[in-house]
Homo-oligomer: A and B are copies of this chain.
Amino acid sequence: MARSRSASAAAKPAESAGEQELNRSALLAAAATEFAGHGLRGASLETIARAAGITRAMVYYYFGGREGLYIATLEEAYRGINAAEMALDVERLEPLQAMRKLVEFRIDFYAQNPTFVALVAVENQLEGAYLRQSEVVRDRGTHNLARTRSVLERGQREGAFRKGVDPLDLHQLMVSIGIFNVSNRHTFGLIFGRDLGSESQLARTRRMAAEVVLRYLAP
């Protein structure tokens, strides 16, 4: 994870803007792992800096300190997730297939991004205090919800789905299954002997979620 660099390297300015940017993103990458694993207060700036191959002082130089780094990490995480989520297009599928794909995508998506899920858990531990100050937030919700609503309403017009289902209820349902599957996999696995992180279990959860949602929407 650490970029190789001589331990005894003297003060040596970056030769290019590119290399500076590299330090910044190395810090962000290391910070994501560390904050996700230990929370805002529990994270060690020393560990983050070392993993990024630079010194703690740089955290202050680039981000002003622990909180600044955390906020940047959180926003970066949401930005990356937004971009990936936007890529999914189901407009040309039949409502039933489209909805199934929406569900399955979401289950897989969180499973592939456990660090993001963990960072969201950390931000919830902080009662959303930092996300509250961020503008990256609003767009995110509206786009995902709009897509779900669009598929839902299309299905309702065509008679594939029943009326009277709130799109946000539906979205909440899908996200609940997908997030829990990742965020609580360790305790759930220990208590019930089912490893939610395994490939076979992921397939099982995917199938269960699709069936749940389609039955919830059935006329």
Contacts and interface: CB of A to CB of B under 8 A. Distances in A.
Interface of A: 36-42, 118, 120-128, 131-132, 137-138, 140-141, 145, 168-169, 171-173, 175-177, 179-181, 183-194, 204-205, 208, 211-212, 215-216, 218
Contacts of A177: 173, 176-177
A181 B95 CA distance: 27
Dominant SS among interface residues on chain A: helix
Given A39-B125, A42-B39, A172 B188 contact: yes
Contacts of A191: 131, 137-138, 140-141
Contact of A215 (B171, B187, B215): B215
Tell me the number of copies of this protein. Answer: 2
Residue among A177, A192, A205 with max Cβ neighbours from chain B (10 Å) = A192
9 contacts: A120-B187, A121-B125, A121-B184, A124-B185, A131-B191, A137-B190, A141-B193, A173-B212, A177-B177
A-B pairs, top 7 by smallest CB distance, nearest first, are A128-B186, A41-B42, A42-B42, A176-B180, A141-B191, A39-B39, A215-B215
Nearest to A40: B42
A211 B216 contact: yes
